[in-house]
Amino acid sequence: MATKVAVVTGGNKGIGFAIVRGLCKRFDGVVYLTSRDINRGTNAVAELNKEGLNPKYHQLDTTDPRSIEVFRDYIKGNYGGLDVLVNNAAIAFKNNAPEPVAVQAEQTLAVNYFAVLSTCELLFPILRNGARVVNVSSSCGHLSNIPSADLRNRLKDPSLTINELSDLMRQYIEAAKQNTHASKWGNSSYVVSKVGLTALSMIQQRMLNDKDIKVNAVHPGYVDTDMTSHKGILTIDQGADAPLFLALDAPDSVKGQYVWSDRRIVNWDGPHP
């Protein structure tokens, strides 16, 4: 039987690092810690080695299609396919960041939405039967965070395509450039990016329904990492719990869902939990 392969993006620190740690302990196959920066990634691998864990390493910058292609060809050539993909890498500007909203919108959407989309477009063709994809979203990715009812209706429309969703994400960036975004989209590019990612996860599941592949979005909880300036209340291992549950343990019936940090399936277009 082929060796199973699990991959985590942005695995060099924070929740991604703890997801790699958890997979190393429990996944029946090889685990790839990937990072955009080779030094940060190999240092993280060395740290796990000290714990007696042995993840493999590969460079992967999710905003660079060439980097994703090199990684895809490497995995395909060496293992034939992929069994677990955890799309964890993301960025968040701090509340007091000096960058104008237009810059924040473009950069946040580039990493948190468009880079996940291109990672999936390039890696989904090598997913094997039974594969699980975990898109690390956020409580910010709940649909109720979008003020406009019209936009919410479009985002939850079960016939929404990826191209239409990507157009909506581009419309947000344009609105941010004109400074006309707030009334319809709210004030946070991070929120828009994570709502977009959650909507994307549901479309991806619909497109994969004829295959034995599960895609879910997850809110890891409020976690003590660089992203939260270490204000989060959960440890990185606690934050990794729900993503690991979806990658390894969730029943096959859990697909196309938005799952909370306590493993509960949450109604994405219902009231905010």
- Write out the residues near ligand NAP by the rule CB under 6 A: 9-10, 12-16, 35-37, 40, 61-63, 88-91, 111, 115, 136, 138, 219-220, 222-223, 225-228, 232
Strands (E), 25-114: 30-35, 56-59, 82-87
Q: How far is the CB of 60 from ligand NAP (least distance, A)?
A: 6
Q: Which helix (H) or strand (E) holds 188?
A: none
Give the separation between CA 50 and CA 251, rounded to whole angstroms. Answer: 33
- Structure-derived torsion over alpha carbons of residues 140, 144, 148, 151, reported in degrees to the nearest 10: 80
**Nearest distance, CB of residue 112 and ligand NAP, angstroms:** 7
Please identify, using beta-carbon distances, which residue of 111 and 151 lies nearer to ligand NAP: 111
Residue 190 annotated among the catalytic residues of the structure: yes
Token pair for 236: 């990185």
Question: Which entry of 57, 113, 172, 190 is annotated as an active-site residue?
Answer: 190
Residue nearest to ligand NAP (CB): 14
Among residues 56 and 128, whose Cβ is nearest to ligand NAP? Answer: 56
CA 186 from chain centre, in angstroms, equals 21
Alpha-carbon span 80 to 75, nearest angstrom? 7
Write down the residue that tokens 């890498």 correspond to: 89
Nearer to ligand NAP, 39 or 159 (CB): 39
**3-state SS, residue 218:** strand
What values do phi and psi take at 57, rounded to 5?
A: -125, 140
Question: Shortest distance, CB of residue 13 to ligand NAP, whole angstroms?
Answer: 5
Cβ proximity to ligand NAP, 15 vs 131, nearer residue:
15
Q: Which is nearer to ligand NAP, 37 or 51 (CB)?
A: 37
Q: Distance (Å, rounded) from C-alpha 137 to C-alpha 139?
A: 7
Residue 55 beta carbon to ligand NAP: minimum distance, rounded to whole angstroms: 14
Phi, psi of 50 (to 5 degrees): -65, -25
Tell me the closest approach of the beta carbon of residue 36 to ligand NAP, in angstroms.
Answer: 4
Q: CB neighbours (10 Å) of residue 171?
A: 14
Give the residue with the Cβ less far from ligand NAP, 63 or 171: 63
For residue 268, give Cα distances in angstroms to 124, 145, 193, 207. Answer: 24, 10, 15, 19
Beta strands, E only, the chain: 5-8, 30-35, 56-59, 82-87, 127-136, 214-218, 258-259, 265-266
Query: Closest separation between CB of residue 260 and ligand NAP, Å?
Result: 11
* Enzyme catalytic residues: 190
